[in-house]
Structure formats: structure tokens, C-alpha cells
């Protein structure tokens, strides 16, 4: 059986999936066709049910649980890993109710965390994450929510931090920050989904056991990124939760779903349990 597998070209994802997609994990009768896209595209495709297995933002999870189940391995959760709200120094006097803010996608976790912290923003503009710093620097928006390597580079580009949205989440909930997880199509059946979960866990374990080695596969997809930033990216977003979210991770996801229901009451969650059991 060949399964389409979507993940981003960001170093944390390529680091986790490298061994799986490049033949260093025995996949038995399963084969994987990797599809690398930005997380906003992967979220949209999950809404369309396009891929068999995919990385998604936890912000889109409530909208796809009818068709997908959440796996335990391969995701990004942790503390001190959240998105940042940034601005130019001359716009650091931030008032959400009068501000236009760029956000990396409507159905991203970053949007959900921003909505929790700043529920009364005047206007939101949804952009691909790589365009947000440029929009802020050009004065097209008053502030922007940055993710991924933006945490490490925004100061060098002349931006200032207004709010750490992850710190706000942790203070409000006491839970680690659920950023992105791996979902599998329910139609594959639980035995196949459990096997995919096992293989992703094995791939992540191999990568972490070999670190600080970073393979050419990871470096190639991060070719426009400074090596030190690439390593910071891996160290920040790949951790024990990436091997298995465990009960602590599940608790954090449940809290996020509660916040989602509170901030988007018009959107009903699908009835299925979101987690892969067994």
C-alpha cells in the first residue's frame, strides 16, 4: 500500500520524517509518497481530504476530525515554542482594537493563540508565514504573528516583540503549546493508522539518537536558512512530544479544543474522538 504523506520543508519536519521517507526505516508493506508543502497548504488540503497522512496545525484539527484521526508521533508540542507578535519599532505602541495584523493562515494554531490573546483586533490579514515579516517591515500591517525560524531572526531584521503568544497560552492554561500534529485518514482503518504511527515514532527516534548529525536531506530543504538557525529550529520544535505526545500532550490538545469551541462557538466539532486509540 502506498500512502501520500504531507509535511513541511521546515527543519523540524524533515528531521523527523527523513529516515522514514529515505529508506532507513523498514516500512514492511507500506510505501510513502512524500509531499512537501507549507503548513497553510497542508491545512487546506486536510480540509479537502486530499492526503492519506499529513502534518496539520492544531488550529485546523477540529474541522477535520470527521475524516482524520490524530496520531501520537511526529507532532510539535512544547514550552517556549509559541508564535510571536512582532512589529516595527515605530509601531510598538500596539492597540489591538485599532490594528491590522498579519497572521499565517486562518486555520493555524498561531491564529487560534492570537485570537485567545487579542480577541478584539480591528483587522486580520491571512498570509503565507514567509511573507509576514516583509509585510510588517513594509508598513502594510501594524503587526504580524511569526512562526518557525522567525523566532530566531526577527530582531536581526529590525522588528521588536510585542507579545509571546506561547507564553500567554501557558500562563492561561498551564499546558504545553500544541502547534502541529500528524493526522491519518480514518478510511485507512485503525490497524494501518497504528502502523503509520509506529513508523513515524521510529523515524523520530532515529533522528534524535543521531543528533547533532543533520543529514543532507534536512540541509537541502533548509538551504536558505543559516545552519545555526536550522539547528535552533530542530532543538526547539523536536522533543519527547515528537516521539509520543503521551497523556500530557493529549491534555494540551484537549485544552486547545476547548479554547477553539469557546472562541468559535458557531463551529460545531465533529463527534468522533480525535485521538488514535491503541
- What does the alpha-carbon distance between residue 211 and residue 207 come to, in Å, rounded to a whole number? 6
DSSP three-state, residue 111 = helix
- What does the alpha-carbon distance between residue 214 and residue 217 come to, in Å, rounded to a whole number? 8
Q: Known binder of ligand: residue 110?
A: yes
79 within 8 A of 176, measured Cβ to Cβ? yes
**Three cell numbers written together for 134:** 516583509
- Count CA atoms closer than 13 A to 64's CA, side-chain side: 33
User: Which one of the listed residues 107, 148, 168, 221 is annotated catalytic?
Assistant: 148
Q: Is 107 a catalytic residue?
A: no
**Three cell numbers written together for 33:** 509518497
Q: Known binder of ligand: residue 56?
A: yes
Q: Known binder of ligand: residue 73?
A: no
- What does the alpha-carbon distance between residue 65 and residue 67 come to, in Å, rounded to a whole number? 5
Q: Known binder of ligand: residue 25?
A: no
Radius of gyration of the chain (CA): 18
Residue with cell 538557525: 229
176 within 8 A of 77, measured Cβ to Cβ? yes
Active site residues: 148
Binding site for substrate, by residue number, is 55-57, 109-110
Binding site, by residue number, is 55-57, 109-110
Amino acid at each position: 500500500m502506498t500512502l501520500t504523506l504531507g509535511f513541511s520543508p521546515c527543519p523540524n519536519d524533515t528531521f523527523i520524517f527523513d529516515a522514514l521517507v529515505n529508506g532507513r526505516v523498514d516500512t514492511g508493506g507500506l510505501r510513502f509518497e512524500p509531499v512537501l508543502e507549507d503548513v497553510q497548504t497542508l491545512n487546506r488540503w486536510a480540509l479537502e481530504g486530499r492526503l492519506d497522512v499529513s502534518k496539520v496545525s492544531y488550529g485546523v484539527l477540529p474541522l477535520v476530525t470527521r475524516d482524520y484521526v490524530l496520531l501520537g508521533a511526529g507532532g510539535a508540542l512544547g514550552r517556549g515554542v509559541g508564535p510571536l507578535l512582532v512589529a516595527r519599532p515605530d509601531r510598538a505602541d500596539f492597540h489591538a482594537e485599532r490594528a491590522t495584523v498579519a497572521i499565517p493562515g486562518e486555520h493555524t494554531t498561531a491564529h487560534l493563540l492570537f485570537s485567545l490573546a487579542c480577541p478584539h483586533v480591528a483587522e486580520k490579514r491571512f498570509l503565507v508565514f514567509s511573507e509576514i515579516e516583509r509585510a510588517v517591515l513594509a508598513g502594510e500591517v501594524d503587526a504580524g504573528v511569526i512562526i518557525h525560524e522567525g523566532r530566531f531572526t526577527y530582531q536581526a531584521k529590525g522588528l521588536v516583540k510585542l507579545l509571546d503568544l506561547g507564553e500567554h497560552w501557558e500562563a492561561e492554561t498551564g499546558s504545553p503549546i500544541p502547534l502541529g500534529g500528524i493526522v491519518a485518514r480514518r478510511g485507512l482503518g485503525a490497524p494501518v493508522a497504528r502502523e503509520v504511527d509506529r513508523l513515524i515514532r521510529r523515524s523520530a527516534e532515529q533522528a534524535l539518537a543521531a543528533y547533532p548529525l543533520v543529514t543532507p536531506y534536512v540541509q537541502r530543504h533548509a538551504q536558505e536558512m543559516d545552519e545555526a538557525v536550522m539547528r535552533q529550529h530542530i532543538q526547539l520544535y523536536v522533543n519527547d512530544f515528537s516521539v509520543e505526545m503521551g497523556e500530557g500532550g493529549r491534555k494540551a490538545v484537549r485544552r486547545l479544543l476547548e479554547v477553539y469551541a469557546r472562541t468559535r462557538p458557531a463551529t460545531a466539532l465533529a463527534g468522533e474522538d480525535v485521538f488514535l486509540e491503541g
